Structure 1
Amino acid sequence: MAAKHNFRKLTIWRDGIGLVKETYKTTKIFPKSETYVLSNQMQRCSISIPSNIAEGMSKSTTKHFLQYLENALGSAFEWETQLVIAFEVGYISESTFNHLENKIQSIQKMVTRFMESIEDH
């Protein structure tokens, strides 16, 4: 049952928090014109990942918990798309892009595996 777990102990939640911090650090260098556009959207998506994991832990059924994990996964893919855009328009370097792409893909894989392990029980 999802509610029996402490979300703060989950690696995916902690990695999600790390992504939020890196997102804020990265978007600080974006042009001011992006403050309410790409910067804000990337920040909101990154926040959504650990937030959905945490909120899902409070749900009393596996079905509801899985819905929140799906939302977290969706936000992770949305964030990755925004990362590609930030790179393509020249807001971040290739090394920053590669580092963050590896991070988000790791989170996506962890969420997917976590969902699969829950569905198997």
Structure 2
Amino acid sequence: MSLRFFIDQCVPNSIIQTLHDAGHEVLVLGDYIPIESPDIAVIAKAQELHAILVSLNGDFADIVTYPPSAYQGIISIQLRNHPEIIAQLMARLTEYLSLHDSGEYYRGKLLIVEVYRIRVRE
């Protein structure tokens, strides 16, 4: 089953392409709102589009500011200025997505994607 993702402006094209190649619907921020939009507008647009937000922006991993229960789903990719780990991160994420292929699964969850693990916060 295909998932629907709303991709923040900070996400590299290689991540976008990997999600697309895995058969998911990928909606890119710049096609919907200005790229300099504030975080609250970004997550609101993801909600409006019924999409899981994918971002490198660490602000979205703050469960106090963005409590997962209030959103369709948030995936925070922990790249930390190391583009050489994108392939490893995406291998881990695409494997996880294939095991959990229902959009409903992600509702109310924050996934923090790291090279060696994916942490799920609710």
| Fold shared by both chains (TM-score > 0.5) | no
Structure with greater contact order relative to length (CA < 8 Å, sep ≥ 6): 1
What is the TM-score of this pair, normalised by structure 2? 0.28
Greater radius of gyration (CA): 1
Greater percentage in helix? 1
Greater percentage in strand? 2
What is the TM-score of this pair, normalised by structure 1? 0.28
